Amino acid sequence: MAILNCAGRMLDLNRVQVMGILNVTPDSFSDGGRLYSANELSLDMALQQAGKMVAAGATIIDVGGESTRPGAEPVSVQEELDRVIPVVEKIVAELDVVISIDTSSAEVITAGAAAGAGLINDVRALQREGALEAAARTDLPICLMHMQGEPKTMQQQPGYDDVVEDISEFLRQRIAACEAAGISSERLILDPGFGFGKTLEHNLTLLNRLEDMHRYGLPLLVGTSRKSMIGNVLNREPEQRLAGSLATVALAVYKGAHILRVHDVAETVDVVRMTEAVKQEKVSEQ
């Protein structure tokens, strides 16, 4: 599997990597507003939280300035820039870690790369105006995620003929669009988009058939942490979903995920390493 060059920091996907979530938003579904003091984003609090995740084993910090929770309203490009770029600059200056920018906006992609981000993580798979061209110019790795609809409406009536095949076809088209724009497939990571325009049944099917997402030979990112699929199965609020999240992590690792995007880094790292040890032992016996 690939070793990605993330703005000079190497990310070895021969081993599962853990991406810590750093939402610099006031309204994300699980941790919105945690980094705010007196309604102002605190750079010191953001750096402290990032540092804790790195110390716990995160090799990527995913910085997001626009909530993509179900029902979320979009924010202006300027507001997103004001939230994200100072945090990226602060972390780059202080911590040895790959910074991912969770954005769909061309302006934020460009400014984030200039600030030192090493990876682009786009829930809209570079479909916003100018995003594809902006991402191509950065030379950074890119995660393409599947989402049916937009965050504000995506959970109203999601439907698929076959959730795995439909997502796979969407991702095939986005890979082709990237290649046509001069983005080599060697720079691409795929995310099936758990919880983004999908019912509980869709999410469970997708996790159960995650092996099918390897058909393009590209690394897979999985983000199930604290999501409603876990709440719906276990009847738990977001802050009570750790055990369920870790169960999905173990399954995802066993089924070949390369990056896990999570809120609870320390616990996830333990589960990842234990699951890898069992998986590698099984391989060595064959």
Phi (first) and psi of residue 5, to 5 degrees? -90, 105
Exposure string for 188-205, b = 16+ CB within 10 A, e = fewer? bbbbbbbbbbbbeebbbb
Cβ burial, residue 70 (10 Å; 0-12/13-18/19+): middle
As a three-state string, the secondary structure of 122-174 is ECCCCCCCCHHHHHHHHCCCEEEECCCCCCCCCCCCCCCCCHHHHHHHHHHHH
Active site amino acids: 227, 261
